[in-house]
Amino acid sequence: MIRDSDSACPFRLTIRESHDYPLAPLAAALALCFTVTTHAASITVNDPSSGRITGHCTLLDAVTSVNTQAVAPGSSCVAGDGVNDTINFSSGFTITFTAATSGVDALVLTKPVTIDGGVLAGGAPRVIIERNGTQSVRLIDATANLTLNGVTLRNGLASFGDGGGIIATGANVTMTNSIVSGNTASNHGGGVSVYHGALMLTNSTVSGNTATTFNGGGIHVEGGSVTSINSTISGNTAGQKAGGIYTNATATLTNTTVSGNTAAGSGGGLFAHDIVLNFSTFSGNSVPSGHVGGGIAVASGATPTATATATLMFGNGPGSDVDSTAPVTLNGDHNLIGTIGTNITLANPTLACDPLLKPLTNNGGPTATQAIYPPSCALDAGPTTTTLATDQRGLPRLFGSATDIGAFEYQGPNDPSDRIFYNGFDP
């Protein structure tokens, strides 16, 4: 009698062997049904030390337990199973890595893992992973899928290559409620560099990162897509293309603010082969005179594509707010664009007025935004209906007779609630 009530194909079966139907082949077939279900491990870091402390579970121990699928020697961690383990934390730690010599990775991840720091009230990450000292220390090197939630990565330095905060090779990176800030790479991707994988951001910030020599001050993705939802990319710098975001594939941005990024080449805020923009804001990004796309540069190559809906592109430059290195049609509607490059053809009319954007600041929600107030021409100038329930801050997307253009949806005279003056003279 065989019973497996926990398997994917439970049954009760009585088997009698005969010469005509020997059991061996049947047993082999049944083995396909009785697969063992594995469950990813949850490993709790209980010590903020950057090294190993006997009897404790540090972050380095937890990563070792994930990579080896065994308890890190001398630690109190549990073993990972290599499927998709989760590393969490007993408290809101700041974990600081230093090195005696340059050119090291603080954390090397070879198995899929989620690092879940948790989120404080207001949406701020609860756990900080940082570099200190003068030596070059990249914070994370991943060759398997990596998910970050509630984690700040700051001050990483890859003076020897790409990705001061994160480099991922052949892996996808997903970031939620996280911050990548103040990291530097000598080559590509000051904050994050991904090769042959996708990057997904939600409720996250990539700010103040630098790619000293090449592309993607904040984000560099080669051979994969970038998707950003309810996030902010600001104040990043690139030695060549894309102060904010670089990808040679598709960048899809929804409820995203790209502000104050700088590139020495094309694409101050964004450089991508294909763009899909929804209710996003590009402002204050810059490239030197003579380069393409102070705000956005659509890359040349085989049939680049561009679509934007209810997206605000204003105050970027020198160079046009949006341009391309080859002729391309910008599809979509309800956009506001200050200046348009000669290689861009508009499929539909756009507004070209000054939206009276306010500086990037905390207007509520987990990420910084640029507010608009009356009499901004972007107010109620978007579609009258949308599938988006909220703006970047998480507030209702449709307020008034129609949606607003850009990542910020004005909610009325008390928005944001701590604004003192509502008369056009507020600082």
Q: What is the mean pLDDT of residues 177-201?
A: 98
Give the start-end residues of each E strand in 46-161.
85-89, 94-97, 104-109, 113-116, 127-131, 137-142, 146-149, 151-154, 157-158
- Which stretches within 7-88 are classed as H helix? 23-33, 59-68
For residue 302, what pLDDT is reported?
76
| Residue spans per domain, the chain | 41-91, 101-346
Residues in the chain: 427
Q: What is the rounded distance in angstroms from the CA atom of residue 196 to the CA atom of residue 248?
A: 11
pLDDT at 183 over 60: yes
Fill in the DSSP letter of residue 397.
S
Tell me the Cα Rg of the chain: 25
For residue 39, what pLDDT is reported?
65
- pLDDT tens digits, one per residue of 240-280: 999 999 999 999 999 999 999 999 999 999 999 999 999 99
Q: What is the rounded distance in angstroms from the CA atom of residue 404 to the CA atom of residue 409?
A: 6
Q: What is the mean pLDDT of residues 58-84?
A: 96
For residue 418, what pLDDT is reported?
56
Which pTM value belongs to this model?
0.89
For residue 122, what pLDDT is reported?
83
pLDDT at 13 over 90: no
Give the pLDDT band (50/70/90) at residue 102: confident
For residue 264, what pLDDT is reported?
97
More confident residue, 114 or 24: 114
Q: Which of 272, 294, 273, 290 is nearest to 282 (CA)?
A: 294
For residue 40, what pLDDT is reported?
80
Q: What is the rounded distance in angstroms from the CA atom of residue 227 to the CA atom of residue 426?
A: 34
pLDDT at 25 over 60: no
For residue 244, what pLDDT is reported?
98
- pLDDT tens digits, one per residue of 131-152: 998 999 999 999 999 999 999 9
Average model confidence (pLDDT) across the chain: 90
More confident residue, 427 or 264: 264
Burial of 380 (0-12, 13-18, 19+ CB in 10 A): middle
Which residue in this structure is represented by tokens 């077939």?
29
- Do β-strands 113-116 and 85-89 pair in parallel, antiparallel, or remain unpaired? parallel
Q: Are 76 and 56 in contact (CB under 8 A)?
A: yes
Q: What is the mean pLDDT of residues 189-214?
A: 98
pLDDT at 33 over 50: no
pLDDT at 84 over 90: no
More confident residue, 38 or 285: 285
177 phi-psi bin (left φ>0, alpha ψ -120 to 50, beta other): left
Cα distance from N-terminal residue to C-terminal residue, the chain: 79
DSSP secondary structure string, 151-220? EEEES-EETTSS-SSEEEES--EEEES-EEES-EESSS-SSEEEESS-EEEES-EEES-EESSSS-SSEE
Q: Are 250 and 243 in contact (CB under 8 A)?
A: no
For residue 238, list its beta bridge partners.
211, 263
Give the pLDDT band (50/70/90) at residue 32: very low
Which of 30-44, 90-104, 213-227, 300-314 has the weakest average pLDDT?
A: 30-44
Q: What letters, b where the CB count within 10 A reaches 16 and e where it falls short, cover 148-184?
A: bbbbbbbbbbbbebbbbbbbbbebbbbbbbbbbbbbb
For residue 61, what pLDDT is reported?
98
- pLDDT tens digits, one per residue of 150-179: 999 999 999 989 999 999 999 999 999 999
